[in-house]
Structure 1
Amino acid sequence: MKPFRVRLTFILIALIGISMIGAGFTMAQLFRDSHINALEENMSREINLLSGTLDFVDMEAPEAVAYYTQQAEHIAKLTDSRITFITKAGRVIGDSEKNPLEMDNHSTREEEILAAEDGVGRSIRYSDTLDRKMLYVAGAVSSDQGFDGYIRLSMGLDAVSEGLNRAWLYMAGVLVLLFMAATLVSYKVASSMTSPLEQITRVARRITDLDYDARVPMRRKDEVGQLATAINAMADSLQDQLKTIRDNEDLLQSVLDNMTGGILMINAEEKIALVNRATEKMLDISNSEVAGHSYRELKRHYELTRLVEEGVSNKQPIHEERTIYNPGERIIRLDAVPMMQDDSYRGMLFLLQEVTEIRRLEKMRSEFVANVSHELKTPVAAVKGFAETLLGGGVTDEKTARSFLQIIYDENERLNRLIGDILELSKIESKRVQLDCSPVHLIDFFDSVLGTISKVAEKKNISLSAEVPEELFIEGDEDKLRQIFMNLLSNAINYTHEGGSVKVSVINRVKPDGTETVVFTVSDTGMGIPRKDLPRIFERFYRVDKARSRSSGGTGLGLSIVKHLVELHRGAISVQSELGIGSSFILELPLLQEEKL
């Protein structure tokens, strides 16, 4: 620790020495400036005195040079300074030290230029004539006797230099004494500080090594004790701030990881700075693999990469959609904004949002409107056409007229069913339908449903059967369940050839998590559904056999209503079918409905 003590002593002495030297230079400069300012003011007053008392003659008179030279020499003896008379054009017409005729033009001298502007000018420079540094003060003087120029006084700065030298000698003596006293005091101060400072240094090193639990065990009341307290407070603050930073980082990471939208950040060097989990899943990439690499490494998503490149190049906001394939077709909406901080460009931030489902729903909505218009137009046109024929008197045969009226009635019924189904579907989709749940005894329920629809089946010689456990109950809205199975059984009968069969089977199932469900299967021996149509079978107005569906009076909304009612019961529906063999609609509903809080 002794070398440190010695170093500290020398540092203190050096600081005192530097302070004294700095103070000496400052004082010397102040002394020099004040003395020069005093000289300048005296010389200015002398010029003003001369301008008021001197007898001037015409500057252009032949005897002007001799006269002003004589006056300059006379005044110089009285003022102990050099006197020079100068015309406005810079020509010297009188000087106390040199023949004016041998002197050059003074129009470019600093003091004359300043005097021309402000009335009085000053400059300090080396005089080649007198071989020493001089102070020059010039004043603009104008007299009615024909003098219009400058009177310049100059004086040597030797007195100022002598004063400075004396000051330096005095300060040097004082400095030596101070150095001797400072050496003794500094050594004692260093000795008292080294031991606690060594302890503080060890703790500071531990904190530097990220050991924020380190503390200085010191209870002193002096400055060193205050330093120890400050170190401990700093360690406490760092520990709290580090915890806050880590908590914020964890929170920010959690937000980024749980965002449904993707985040892609490109820094100013055009490298990927951040990719969140949603983007990783969307683009099938990993943040650890692409971070720090160029965004062009996303080249397998060509359209998206080209859009990112456009944003990075132009540094302008972007709002576009692109289609990528990962693995299937996906529509990605990309919103980009430049990141600015204090008018400095920091990179581009891209928000990726998958809108595949939104666009699909928009397309379905558009198709729904078109289909509704088409479906409504057909019966309305039929009713209008046959009614116009009857009103026009073109049908005189009563049998034909009755057939026309029957067609009008059937089309009206179809129109009513269509409007009813549309309203029902609208209520279900807008969540305005509430379930009125109660226990439903399934064997009695299906006896009633099959009894209602049996007449239709008998017309096509189709056998109806049901396999339902006798004591099985389910909690649900009986009216909605009836609507579900009436739709499914009606479809099964309509698309089953004469002599076929339609069957309902019900089983109770327990899931691995312990919840109980009831599985319903409505199967038929009909024509079946092509594999390509299976994914769209529950869409509104989608028909597999459009001609047969229209002839049977179907609206194309039945299965869509069924799907929504099943989901309203928190269930699921699926379909299995083979062409020429038949179809099976499988429903799985919970045995008990959860109570809504």
Structure 2
Amino acid sequence: MKPFRIRLTLILMILLGVLGLAAALTMGQIFKSSHIQTLEDNMVREIRLLETTFDFRSTGTSGKPSEDIFKYYSQEAHEIGNLTDSRVTFIEKDGTVIGDSESDPHAMNNHMDREEIRAASTTGVGSAIRYSATLDKNMLYVAAPVQAGNVFNGYIRLSMSLEAVEIGVRNAWTVMGISLLVLFLVAAVVSYRVASGLTKPLEHITVVANRISRLDYGARVKLERRDEIGELGKAIDNMADSLEKQLKIIRDNEDLLQSVLANMTGGMLMVNSLGNVALVNRFAEEVLGVTSKRLTGKSYHELKRHYELTKLLGEGLRRKERIHDEQTLYDPEPRLIQIDGVPMFEDDDTYRGMLFLIQDISNIRRLERMRSEFVANVSHELKTPIAAVKGFAETLLGGGVQDEQTSRAFLQIIYDESERLNRLIGDILELSKIESKRSPLNFSPIHLQPFFDTIREMLNSSAAKKNITMEMNVPEEMFMEADEDRLRQIFVNLISNAVNYTQDGGKVRLTVEEKVSENGEERILFHVRDTGMGIPKKDLPRIFERFYRVDKARSRISGGTGLGLSIVKHLVDLHHGTVTVESEVNIGTTFTVNLPLLQEDEPDI
């Protein structure tokens, strides 16, 4: 049982005990008073009865009463006392006792100063309760004036022991004590029940309130009561409902904010006015090579391995104004980042710190560099055939060549260079169109065997000039879904490259096989193998770059533009496939194209 319930039970028990005891005392006093009053009334009636029926004898008009008077009244008092079970005393007007049922009147003092006599002389009836040393008990004395003509003028006093009254009171106290004990036990049970009825719901409410304070907002009181405690329980339940709704909104907003921060393509680093890191998102963790758990709440100087960055952060915190800078981080590869710092102020212009936005611009700079290189390469590639055309044309126009055979040779060179220039421009336009996705693919079923037969016919003459054997192993009933024109462009580029870079008398082989990927998707593998000069390992990672050539002199002789493999790579990507290369110098090269058997529908955007 809880201390509060114990205290409340004790308080109720004490309160009920005090009330019961007070009631018992009151009842006992009333009981005693009523019994004494009844005795007094009875004794007054007996005195009045004696006044009218007793045979009074004259005590004389003056002087001391005779012995006969003393004897007569004492004898009569004794007889009346036996009849009434009380003590009877006859007293003269001056207080002299002339007869008593239990004592010798000669030995008794004058009773004029007795309380009951004085009261009787003034009010007509007097009573008193006092202890009798003779009888060793409390006695009730009642006196009243009596006058019987000229015979007797004095007082008759009756006294009676209060032992019977006291016994009755003691019996009453015994009954009331037992009743009080029973009442106390009942009060204890009732008090406990009442205290439990009050404290149990309060204890339950306290437990629920503590659970809510510990962020358990699902806790509810659920009291089915119509009193104030029930209203309190409902108020707490309503408060918990409101808190739970507000917490859900806060958590949803926090989850949304965390999702936004985690999926941002830029980094975010928040440093408060004290220089401690308050927020680091996932991208910033990756860029800076730290974890949010290790950095949050600590000084920004923890980024000490990025010395220049910490200097910039400190400068932003000190200046409290926007900053912008670019820095290179080494972790371990060099990474170029752009940092924008924004000061944070509240409505009352209180400075909260700085928010630093971090962007990885390595790819942007790399693309800018590639764009510059592309422009330079295009300019260089265009300049070479144009210079050749211009030079030979000027020679012919100047009349410096009179020989017809030499003139025809010059014209052939002009024609070849113009063709090369035309192919170069065409490839550049084609690559631009593919990269910008201005030419959508039209997927349709393709029967591969006749498809590659047409490619063989296209390239047979080039292979025959170099006495190169072309083999194409294509299953007869194999179909796939692709854009036929783009697929032809892929394999014409790959097979023509294999023919161009294979020495005379070599071999070029195409094999096609079906394969099921790990996720159960059906795919087709195309292998284009040659026995040519091969590609050095250092050049393999770059062969799909635009204008990259392993052997520039050989490329010019073969009429290559340096864009063929880049176009192949883009077209394979558009078909949701991959292209890889394996090569050994002076042994040969193998290009492998991995394409899905069926193309998935592009989602609507």
| Range class of TM-score, shorter chain | 0.5 to 0.7
For the pair 1:503 / 2:530, whether they are aligned, the reply is no
Q: Residues 204 and 221 of structure 2 are in contact (CA less than 8 Å); yes or no, is this contact kept in structure 1?
A: no
Hey, what does 1:418 align to over in structure 2? 424
Tell me the SS of whatever aligns to 1:539. coil
Q: For residue 259 of structure 1, report the CA deviation from its aligned partner.
A: 2.1
Match of 1:294 in 2: 299
TM-score by length of 1: 0.64
Partners of 2:403 and 2:214 in 1: CA distance: 108
Counterpart-to-counterpart distance in 2, 1:428 and 1:312: 48
Give a deviation string over 1:384-404, Cα, whole Å, max 9, x none: 221122122222111111111
1:402-461 per-position Cα deviation (integer Å, ceiling 9, x unaligned): 111111111111111111111111111110112222222222222221221121112122
Q: Give the counterpart letter for 1:369 in structure 2.
A: V
Out of 224, 240, 247, which is 1:242 matched to?
Answer: 247
Once the two structures are TM-superposed, the CA of residue 204 in structure 1 deviates from its matched residue by 4.4
Task: Report whether the alignment pairs 1:443 with 2:442.
Answer: no
Aligned mate of 1:482, from 465, 485, 488: 488
| 1: CA distance, partners of 2:203 / 2:441 | 79
Shift of 1:537: 0.8
The equivalent of 1:252 in structure 2 is 257
Q: 1:509-537 CA deviation, whole Å, 9 max, x = no partner?
A: 10011101111111212222122222211
Aligned to 2:11: none
State the alpha-carbon separation in 2 of the partners of residues 255 and 203 from structure 1.
35
The CA deviation string for residues 28-83 of structure 1, in whole angstroms up to 9 with x for no partner, is xxxxxxxxxxxxxxxxxxxxxxxxxxxxxxxxxxxxxxxxxxxxxxxxxxxxxxxx
Partner of 2:128: none
Q: For residue 599 of structure 2, what is the amino acid of its counterpart?
A: Q
| TM-score normalised over the length of structure 2 | 0.63
From 552, 562, 581, give the equivalent of 1:556. 562
1:334 aligns with 2:334: no
Shift of 1:200: 6.3
Instruction: From the superposition, tell whether residues 280 and 438 of structure 1 become closer, same or farther in structure 2 (CA, over 3 Å).
Output: same
SS of match in other structure, 1:488: helix
CA RMSD of aligned residues (A): 2.8
Answering whether residue 467 of structure 2 is matched by residue 458 of structure 1, we say no
Structure 2 counterpart of 1:277, from 282, 288, 291: 282
Pairwise mapping of residues 328-477 of structure 1 onto structure 2 (< 5 A)?
A: 328-342=333-347, 343-477=349-483
Q: Using a 3 Å threshold, how does the CA distance of structure 1 residues 301 and 393 change in structure 2: closer, same or farther?
A: same
Equivalent AA in structure 1 for residue 353 of structure 2: G
Aligned residue pairs total: 412
Whether the 8 Å CA contact 2:221–2:234 is kept in 1: the answer is no
State the alpha-carbon separation in 1 of the partners of residues 508 and 546 from structure 2.
24
Query: Which range moves more in the overlay, 267-276 or 399-408?
Result: 267-276
Give the Cα–Cα distance (whole angstroms) in 2 for the partners of residues 532 and 219 of structure 1: 85
Q: How far apart are residue 295 of structure 1 and its match?
A: 1.7
1:521 aligns with 2:536: no
User: 1:304 — aligned with what?
Assistant: 309
- In 2, are the aligned partners of 1:203 and 1:216 still within 8 Å (CA)? no
Q: 1:496 to 1:247 in 2, by over 3 A?
A: same
Q: Answer yes or no: is the 8 Å Cα contact 1:216–1:231 preserved in 2.
A: no
What CA distance in whole angstroms lies between the structure 1 residues aligned with 2:339 and 2:266? 10
**Partner SS for 2:409:** helix
What secondary structure is seen at the aligned counterpart in 2 of 1:586?
Answer: strand
Identity of aligned residues (%): 63
- The one-letter code matched in structure 2 to 1:364 is M
| 1:184-199 alignment runs, 5 A limit | none
Superposed displacement of residue 220, structure 1: 5.2
Instruction: State the distance in 1 between where 2:246 and 2:350 align.
Output: 27
AA of the residue aligned to 1:427: K
SS at match of 1:400: helix
Q: Is the 8 A contact 1:215 1:235 kept in 2?
A: no
State whether residues 311 and 318 of structure 1, in contact with CA within 8 Å, keep that contact through their aligned partners in structure 2. yes
Among candidates 550, 554, 563, match of residue 544 of structure 1:
550
Say whether 1:324 aligns with 2:319: no
Where do 5+ consecutive residues of structure 1 fail to align?
5-190
**Paired amino acid for 2:461:** K
Q: In structure 2, give the amino acid aligned to 1:546.
A: K
Distance 1:378 1:269, change over 3 A: same
Using a 3 Å threshold, how does the CA distance of structure 1 residues 398 and 278 change in structure 2: closer, same or farther?
same
Name structure 2 gaps, 5 residues minimum.
9-194
Q: Find the aligned partners of 1:202 and 1:515 in 2 and give their Cα distance.
A: 58
Moved more, 476-485 or 213-222: 213-222
Question: What is the alpha-carbon distance in structure 1 between the residues aligned to residue 602 and residue 367 of structure 2?
Answer: 28
